[in-house]
Amino acid sequence: MLKEKPQQPVSFFQQVYDLVRIIPPGYVMSYGQIAQLLGHPRASRLVGWAMHRCPSQIPWYRVIKKTGELPLSNSLFPLSDQRRLLEQEGVSFLTSGLVDMKKHQYKLEEIDL
DNA sequence: AGTATGACATAGC
DNA sequence: AGCTATGCCATAC
């Protein structure tokens, strides 16, 4: 009998990347939301780290904080660029400078990787 | 194999 | 309403 070796579950990070990849233009998702979808309701920081690593070409700028704030600016991922990219996709910002989450948060019920 | 890390979230003050 | 403290947990080293 071949004991079917459980096909190694895709790493958490990989799942994060796969999920981020399917966010349609004009929408955003929060770190906590992604973590929850992947079965780790409180591992938002983990998602943050996954995005920090960001090995793949993925729409990283579509992942923001739950509050609608853009995460953080650094030389690699300039905040101004992130805002510009989102605006180009039609994401509207409130006067406070936050993304209008009510409009643009991508609600995904189930993962289908 | 143990510790540090991290683009967050939430509660409390 | 802004700040600190604490939880979180798979990777990196």
Kindly report the pTM of this predicted structure: 0.87
Contact A68, A99 (CB under 8 A): yes
Q: How far is the CA of A3 from the C1' of B9 (A)?
A: 41
Distance linking the first and last C-alpha atoms of chain A: 29
Number of other residues whose CB lies within 10 A of the CB of residue A34? 25
Strand C nucleotides within a 7 Å radius of protein CB atoms: 7-12
- Give A4-57 pLDDT, tens digit per residue: 444 456 799 999 999 999 999 999 999 999 999 999 999 999 999 999 888 878
- Chain A span 52-71 residues with beta carbon within 7 Å of strand B: 52, 54, 60-61, 63, 65-67, 71
- The amino acid that residue A93 corresponds to is F
